[in-house]
Structure 1
Amino acid sequence: MDNLKYISFKDFDHNDTFFSSLKQNYREFGDWLTKKANDDEFAYVLYGEGGIDGFMYLKVEDIVSDVTPPLPHGRHLKIGTFKFNARGTLRGQRFLKKAFDFAVKEKVDDIYVTVFSEHENLISMFKTYGFQVHGVKETPNGTEYVFIRSLHAVTGDILKDYPIVVARGKQKYMLGIYPEFHTRLFPDSILKNENSNIVEDVSHANSIHKVYLCAMRGVMNMHRGDVMLIYRTSDNQGAARHRAVATSVCVIEEVKNIREFSSLEEFLYYCSKFSIFTKNELISFYRTQRYPFIIKFTYNIAFKKRPNRAILIDNVGLNESDYWGFMPLNDAQFAQIIELGEVDESLVVN
């Protein structure tokens, strides 16, 4: 299992073979690493079994005039250096989620990145999440494309808008998840004495997309673009009124019935990339069909404050006698829970 860390430039090996291609393509790269270490700056470093497997440096800038045309006036997040050894499809997405988290935390207007045209897979990933060509950057190493992603514009495409949640006109629901699954599924929404600082979170489970299996029939009523609040059920260390809490906002990509898969292999291929469940758990679920409903969704926002069951009943007006495993919400209830969760207003379009 690899490990993504946010660490000082002083604390990783600049001579790791991972950086060889960057030093070949960018003659000044070695000196740049040394300068950043001397300036006590930080970067995201992904460690695999054999050493460094991924790297991303982020920088907030107010004026960007070294690209053509210059970026508009505002606050920009630059993905300054970005490389990872691709194994599967999750690594780039995990880094990108970190960039979005960082951008939200720093309240920037947009994120931009410069990429050489030959990095087609990287460009494809950026386009998937709403990055568009802005212009070019001329460097001693050649011409790079400049891709930019606004954090204010809304397209109506749930991936191109991520992490913004377009709630207007959509159905809203609340899904209850047991604590042992919740911690594995939503690392940014961990509770109590676990470290919940988004920038320092090093959980391997940090990805944009999630897959969850359950047996609650109502979930099959959900459609792409519907909004789902996550409710962490009680850990039985006290009364549920105080221990069970709402934690996160997600957007539905699709919902499937396990019977739609023609084979175990097809089922595993669909679920394993984004699921918190182990391969053995998934095999067991497929064979027993104990959890026949499969929800694929994007993990958009972790609440800053987590309203508990008592507040959801007393303040929001949810019915204590209703089934809290899966519950439809009206627009007013959703808006009130979002407000109680202290969600950044710019991230939800009501």
Structure 2
Amino acid sequence: MALKRKKFKEINLADAFFDSLKADYKEFGEWFAKKGEHTAYVFHGEDEAIQAFLYLKVEEDALDDLTPGLPAARRLKVGTMKVNPHGTRMGERLVKKIFDHAVEENVSQMYVTIFPKHAALVALFRRYGFAKIADKHTANGSEDVLARNLNNESKDILYRYPSVSLSSPAYLLSLYPVWHTRLLPDSILKTEKAAIIEDVSHTNSIHKVYLAAMKGMDVLKAGDLLMIYRTNDGAGAAYYRSVATSICVVEEYRSIHSFRNENDFLSYCQSYSVFTDEELTSFWKYKKYPHVIRFTYNIAMPRRVTRGELIDSVGLDANAYWGFMPITGNQLRAIADLGEVNESLIVD
């Protein structure tokens, strides 16, 4: 089942999923009923039971109900977020949705209020740069207020996510269609069916692991940029059908030979890789794909940029090997412009 956006009136408040929220917030049922026409993201499991819920709200007023209070500003409030843990990193996918909305709504800050007892949720937000800035005291108890500015100049890759810096080396990395859609769900093409995006960890996660055999990839290091290029799907000429879809940031490069043993390799790859355990075991045995890259999924381009445009408008060499090749910061900027990427995400 896919992550869907639904009106509150279409969501079953009686689902057991909401019991803990009703226990934490005495007014939750009344609040939920009043939201009728508002929308939230919902994920249903195979048994139709709700497994994840995310409600976001843009605010512009001063936050006088916090200690200390905050002045008026355009903010994105994470009104409600809950995930039933089921081993698929759905929480990371919801965090990505929060950032996506923050960019779309052009807000200066994102914030969430959380009871400290929800340690796993607190840790998830802190991982991506949210920090405590205030307290919120109500009849329900005291909550921590965690906030994160959208444009964070931290050197930490996750604290500045999803922004990318053009001062970093950049490379084109090609993916076959079958791997592309599973690995980068928000970069799905209009000609593809959303149903093929499954609720699995490598799909949901902000973090990705990919194995390849293309020459030259051992130059990659943390902070390098990857412009993801989806290769031809066979339905037409590559000039029109092969497209740039996404911009990612390398977290780590490793050679397959750097792992101590098979278990070490499998542990590193399983949660974030599109490959099955059987495929990974085979990769370990034969070492056919020696390059192991872990990267963050930062930007899904609103508009896909065709191979033809990459050659004619950006100046990429049509005769070069497009599996993996360096591109300049100016070329990446041109691709981002053609891909209609929000300017706030690209830092010179």
Instruction: Provide TM-score, normalisation by structure 2.
Output: 0.93
Q: 1:201 and 1:184 mapped to 2: Cα distance?
A: 8
Whether the 8 Å CA contact 1:156–1:166 is kept in 2: the answer is: no
Q: Is residue 2:132 matched to residue 1:133?
A: yes
- Which residue number in structure 1 is paired with residue 158 of structure 2? 159
Map Cα deviations across residues 70-95 of structure 1 (whole Å, 9 max, x no partner): 33332111111122222337122111
- Which residue number in structure 2 is paired with residue 66 of structure 1? 65
Instruction: Report which stretch shifted further, 222-231 or 151-160.
Output: 151-160
Whether the 8 Å CA contact 1:4–1:202 is kept in 2: the answer is: no
The residue correspondences of 1:308-323 to structure 2 (distance < 5 A) are 308-323=306-321
Aligned-pair distance for 1:159? Answer: 0.2
Give the secondary-structure state (helix, strand or coil) at the position aligned to 1:306.
Answer: strand
Map Cα deviations across residues 165-214 of structure 1 (whole Å, 9 max, x no partner): 1222x111110111121121222112233479xxx997632321111111
Q: Is residue 2:36 matched to residue 1:4?
A: no
Structure 1 residues without counterparts, runs of 5 or longer: none
| Pairwise CA RMSD | 2.0
Q: 2:340 and 2:23 mapped to 1: Cα distance?
A: 46
Q: 1:32 and 1:122 mapped to 2: Cα distance?
A: 22
Map Cα deviations across residues 279-330 of structure 1 (whole Å, 9 max, x no partner): 2222222222222211110010111222211221122221111111001012
- Which residue number in structure 1 is paired with residue 211 of structure 2? 213
Q: Is residue 2:314 matched to residue 1:348?
A: no
The residue correspondences of 1:229-240 to structure 2 (distance < 5 A) are 229-240=227-238
Out of 15, 36, 45, the position equivalent to 2:42 is 45
Query: Structure 1 residues 288 and 338, CA, compared in 2 at 3 Å: closer, same or farther?
Result: same
The residue correspondences of 1:8-47 to structure 2 (distance < 5 A) are 8-37=7-36, 40-47=37-44
Aligned-pair distance for 1:222? Answer: 0.7
Aligned-pair distance for 1:36? Answer: 1.5
Q: Percent identity, aligned pairs only?
A: 49
Whether the 8 Å CA contact 1:5–1:202 is kept in 2: the answer is: no
Q: 1:166 and 1:71 mapped to 2: Cα distance?
A: 30
The size of the alignment, in residue pairs, is 343
The residue correspondences of 1:112-127 to structure 2 (distance < 5 A) are 112-127=111-126
Aligned-pair distance for 1:3? Answer: 4.0
Query: Structure 1 residues 35 and 195, CA, compared in 2 at 3 Å: closer, same or farther?
Result: farther
Map Cα deviations across residues 136-181 of structure 1 (whole Å, 9 max, x no partner): 111111111111110123112110111111222x111110111121
Query: Structure 1 residues 121 and 192, CA, compared in 2 at 3 Å: closer, same or farther?
Result: closer
Q: 1:249 and 1:106 mapped to 2: Cα distance?
A: 20
- Which residue number in structure 2 is paired with residue 57 of structure 1? 55
- Which residue number in structure 1 is paired with residue 335 of structure 2? 337
Aligned-pair distance for 1:250? Answer: 0.3
Aligned-pair distance for 1:230? Answer: 0.5
Structure 2 residues without counterparts, runs of 5 or longer: none
In structure 2, give the amino acid aligned to 1:99.
Answer: I
In structure 2, give the amino acid aligned to 1:274.
Answer: Y
- Which residue number in structure 1 is paired with residue 252 of structure 2? 254
Instruction: Provide TM-score, normalisation by structure 1.
Output: 0.92
Q: 1:106 and 1:3 mapped to 2: Cα distance?
A: 23
